[in-house]
Structure 1
């Protein structure tokens, strides 16, 4: 490793999940020129499983952010470079030795190979230069590009010294391309998000802010211009294309949404699904929920019908343990598990995720309520870790919160069953020989028919329904 490589260290996109190949950069918390320390979070990325914050593993000053927010980056690709010795001043070109002779003492022929190598030092905050066959000028000159080196050593000597200042200013001038515009549009993250929401390409926006920074007003002006262009009468074919384009949105399928889609397709076409339904009177369970909310032992905890549905499923699994298993296709084995990692399907802005409560079968009711509340809160904040979503054994999906009575849920890959809990509604019900209004819900259990036959699946669903109908069975069957 060269001295320059030791000084400018790169942090590569890590594999923060289980063999994931890529991640999307959601947000940068640092910018070029910022000082960072070992363990400091520099960005938030979204993998196919969750949003994760990444800490930098060394100290220094941010030299370059290699990717913009919203970019999808392969694991192992450098995403940020850090100057670990900013006090050393400007780095020398990598192709030149530390104690280089003055250019005037070298023949012109000796200087040419250095030009062809295309290796050069980078000013802090300017970013790494792309590979090139000749050295790029450090700063564009008002009159255009730097002139080519003269054939004689004497003529080329004045071109060798680095331009002043030797150290970069706190806010260096943006690099310009041939058209006079910045090579990468300058805008703050909120402005970039606004442009993305409005469908505006920042490359087409004329900046009005200081140092060529694009402002919110610039983005709104560009959006108004686009809208005005759409309203301008044009030829019929073009008008039709514009009208369709203005009424459609295209969003790339990536991150959690992409992983969920792939998993559901794999599950639906690999595991033969069977779904059974049962409608049950849960009036007693709803009364118990109301009583538990007043219990001092459960003060401050999330107490709701889902908590008792989870407890009822755990009791049913204890009575029918073979439902808690998985199919090992590679080894042609059924793996029965003596622990229950209870998954709870959670809808988030980034898509459906299924974090699970580890060893849920060993928890008391207050412990289960605490774990369930923490799981839901973390999921809503988008902070669920990949570890929290791995190792699940059976899942509950609460479609009732959306007012849905029932459905045919798809089994979470690697599991054998999933229970759907429908909406609880007041309905006419025959109770003690009379038709009375009762709290009623529908349960649906989907299971993998390769390892769960109809008898086992029916027993599990019937036990869950029996506990919810008469919740005292939580005690007698436990």
Structure 2
């Protein structure tokens, strides 16, 4: 029987929220706890999660639309071909929502300040309060903020304003962008290809292994790992004026959560088989969606991939993370064709080597992916 997922209340004073994006599509299988949509009020952005396994059979609303709190956001069914009930259910009562869906204004502010998720914090009463958040923080101390690198100086701004400190997230972003701009000889190239072969290959892998969603991007990332393992120049960088070749292949991939971009890293990916890698990819992605990534989960990338297909973006040029010489950009298809791009550090790789790596990913290599 189809089950609805309702629009959550984010702020006590708001009876509507804006739909930022659906993270799943009709027909797609989802697992309990998987993020299915992002919504926001004037004060916060919230990731909506599925409460049980199922298939998305219908979504309600379009990007940027204001939705009533308690209205049906999407429907889940036991099979992808179930029919949505003709008579829509009455909006979910605000008073019937769980306490973690209705934090007080003070608790909501504290949750946002520390980058937490209300669903992870136990409430002592009917509603989540500041004291609940403080108790949670005392038992789950957040990691220390990374050291903030100094901003590069290019003179002074020409217009009036004031100087403020970067947040920890902003400082990390500054560090990455500054390395890309001032250390790497960052260069970009791209290739057009037909994604149909990848879609069919990923669907076959999904069916053979009983997965709930298509592993297209993880499998493409795994093929990149195998190729980098066989071509050490791809898995190298420059350090102290010398070429530095990594011992293992650590694959970083981008995840965009609550307006912030993160790069979880699958360590020693070259020692995994395809199924182990896909599971590791999915596990880190779930941790990111739930705000559970640890500092160690985002360190040590030696090669990387970025996908913006879900927005959908037709092409993009990724920023190289520090000491990464190749980052592949996967984008959405258009009229059956897709663009696969790559940003690379020209100090380590020439255009021929970068294009060879990129061209290698334009179609799945069954032997390479299933050889381990």
Q: Is the 8 A contact 1:272 1:449 kept in 2?
A: yes
Q: Distance in 2 between matches of 1:288 and 1:353?
A: 28
1:346, distance to aligned residue in structure 2 (A): 1.0
Task: Identify the residue that residue 227 of structure 1 maps to in structure 2.
Answer: none
- For the pair 1:292 / 2:189, whether they are aligned, the reply is no
Q: Is the 8 A contact 1:407 1:420 kept in 2?
A: yes
In structure 2, the CA distance between the partners of 1:286 and 1:350, relative to structure 1 (3 Å rule), is: closer
Gaps of 5+ in 2: 1-112, 147-163
- For the pair 1:455 / 2:352, whether they are aligned, the reply is yes
Q: Distance in 1 between matches of 2:131 and 2:176?
A: 42
Task: Identify the residue that residue 270 of structure 1 maps to in structure 2.
Answer: 183
- For the pair 1:282 / 2:195, whether they are aligned, the reply is yes
Gaps of 5+ in 1: 1-23, 50-250, 428-438
Task: Identify the residue that residue 332 of structure 1 maps to in structure 2.
Answer: 241
In structure 2, the CA distance between the partners of 1:43 and 1:278, relative to structure 1 (3 Å rule), is: same
1:45, distance to aligned residue in structure 2 (A): 3.0
Q: Distance in 2 between matches of 1:26 and 1:472?
A: 40
Deviation string 1:147-171 (CA, Å, 9 cap, x unpaired) is xxxxxxxxxxxxxxxxxxxxxxxxx
**What SS does the aligned partner of 1:278 have?**
strand
Task: Identify the residue that residue 139 of structure 2 maps to in structure 1.
Answer: 42
Q: Is the 8 A contact 2:326 2:342 kept in 1?
A: yes
TM score, norm. by length of structure 1: 0.44
1:257, distance to aligned residue in structure 2 (A): 3.0
In structure 2, the CA distance between the partners of 1:281 and 1:351, relative to structure 1 (3 Å rule), is: same
- For the pair 1:377 / 2:271, whether they are aligned, the reply is no
Deviation string 1:231-260 (CA, Å, 9 cap, x unpaired) is xxxxxxxxxxxxxxxxxxxx9741223311
Q: Distance in 2 between matches of 1:274 and 1:358?
A: 26
In structure 2, the CA distance between the partners of 1:274 and 1:44, relative to structure 1 (3 Å rule), is: same
Task: Identify the residue that residue 340 of structure 2 maps to in structure 1.
Answer: 443
**What SS does the aligned partner of 1:294 have?**
helix
Q: Is the 8 A contact 1:26 1:43 kept in 2?
A: no
The alignment covers a number of residue pairs equal to: 236
Q: CA RMSD in A?
A: 3.6
Larger CA Rg, structure 1 vs 2: 1
In structure 2, the CA distance between the partners of 1:324 and 1:477, relative to structure 1 (3 Å rule), is: same
How does 1:100-115 map onto structure 2 within 5 Å? none
Q: Distance in 2 between matches of 1:315 and 1:380?
A: 27
Task: Identify the residue that residue 272 of structure 2 maps to in structure 1.
Answer: 363
- Give the alignment partner of residue 411 of structure 1, picking from 317, 320, 326: 320
